[in-house]
């Protein structure tokens, strides 16, 4: 016997038309990409040396950025969820600012910090470390824009965790560190995995901050998004093939997260 429908659970008819427009706003460009992509030549286009090099660099840099964002953003998310300190509340919107910050501004900010004339530039130069327009700059730019996704995902996971299990462990005499390692962290495991995957996907698609801070040097800073823009100037088919690859990877990440960690049916 089916449960009765909840009052107010229906969909108002007035929402259908704007919802369809919103769906088409996303689906039509994706359909255009699918229709225009030269699928028969996809293997050859993606096998070109420049495409392979851009893919390799993207995978390496996005993975490094995801690790950096997860290792540093995870603790921030935990603190924001559990701390009532005014400093934490003041810090939170600043840490989440890259979510709405124009990517080119993020790149300029990174240059103002790590560039030769940046606030850390002189010290880094003295140590023989040159960050801008290097692969390290790519990783930093990607981590900068990906970190807020980790913070929000972990913060949500901590807020939804069963605090009663932690209290029970403490009542049994477990230390704070033991409770964190053996109770809190396992409960938070799915959220950490989801955060890392979101950070990786965001880093893989980063463009604006990367081209501003790291440039577009083949084999050193030219990631897949930058390779797409470069290919558009000379070979539309290659640009379409690389774009289709990025869409496929992003879709796989979202589908995986939906089924396992983001409440999919």
pLDDT in tens, 65-83: 999 999 999 999 999 998 9
* 67 Rama class: left (phi>0) / alpha (psi -120 to 50) / beta: alpha
Which two three-digit tokens encode residue 63?
A: 């993975």
| Three-state secondary structure readout of the chain | CCCCCCCCCCCCHHHHHHHHHHHHHHHHHHHHHHHHCCHHHHHHHHCCHHHHHHHHHHHHHHHHHHHHHHHHHHHHHHHHHHCCCHHHHHHHHHHCHHHCCCHHHHHHHHHHHHCCCCCCHHHHHHCCCCCCCCHHHHHHHHHHHHHHHHHHHHHHHHHHCCHHHHHHHHHCCCCHHHHHHHHHHHHHHHHHHHHHHHHHHHHHCCCHHHHHHCCCCCCCCCCHHHHHHHHHCCCHHHHHHHHHHHHHHHHHHHHHHHHHCCCCC
Q: How far is CA 158 from CA 39, 152, 228, 250, 258, in A?
A: 43, 10, 38, 25, 19
Closest to 200 (Cα-Cα) out of 260, 142, 241, 136 = 142
Q: Indicate whether 264 pLDDT > 50.
A: no
Averaged pLDDT for residues 46-57: 93
Give the C-alpha separation, 122 to 154, whole Å.
35
Give the C-alpha separation, 140 to 67, whole Å.
11
Cβ partners under 8 Å of residue 38, min gap 6: 45, 237, 240, 241
Q: By the 8 A CB rule, do 54 and 223 touch?
A: yes
Cβ partners under 8 Å of residue 135, min gap 6: 57, 60, 61, 214, 220, 221
Q: Indicate whether 6 pLDDT > 70.
A: no
Which has the higher per-residue pLDDT, 182 or 36?
A: 36
Average pLDDT, the chain: 88
The pLDDT tens digits for 108-151 are 999 999 998 889 988 888 888 899 999 999 999 999 999 999 99
Averaged pLDDT for residues 220-233: 93
The pLDDT tens digits for 149-205 are 999 999 998 888 767 666 676 667 677 777 777 677 777 888 899 999 999 999 999
């Amino acid at each position: 016997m089916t449960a009765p429908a909840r009052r107010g659970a229906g969909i108002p008819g007035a929402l259908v038309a704007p919802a369809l427009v919103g769906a088409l706003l996303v689906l039509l460009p994706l359909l255009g990409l699918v229709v225009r992509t030269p699928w028969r030549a996809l293997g050859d286009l993606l096998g070109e040396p420049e495409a392979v090099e851009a893919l390799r660099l993207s995978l390496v840099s996005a993975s490094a950025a995801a690790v950096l964002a997860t290792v540093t953003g995870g603790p921030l998310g935990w603190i924001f969820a559990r701390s009532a300190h005014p400093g934490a509340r003041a810090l939170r919107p600043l840490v989440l600012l890259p979510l709405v910050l124009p990517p080119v501004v993020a790149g300029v900010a990174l240059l103002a910090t790590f560039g030769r004339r940046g606030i850390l530039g002189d010290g880094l130069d003295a140590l023989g470390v040159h960050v801008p327009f290097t692969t390290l700059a790519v990783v930093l730019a990607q981590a900068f824009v990906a970190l807020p996704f980790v913070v929000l995902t972990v913060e949500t996971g901590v807020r939804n965790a069963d605090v009663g299990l932690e209290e029970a462990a403490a009542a049994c005499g477990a230390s704070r560190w033991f409770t964190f390692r053996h109770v809190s962290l396992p409960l938070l495991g799915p959220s950490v995995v989801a955060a890392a995957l979101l950070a990786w996907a965001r880093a893989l698609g980063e463009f604006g901050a990367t081209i501003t801070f790291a440039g577009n040097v083949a084999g050193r800073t030219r990631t897949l998004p930058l390779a797409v823009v470069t290919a558009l100037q000379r070979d539309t088919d290659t640009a379409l093939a690389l774009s289709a690859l990025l869409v496929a990877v992003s879709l796989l990440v979202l589908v995986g997260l939906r089924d396992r960690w983001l409440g999919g049916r």
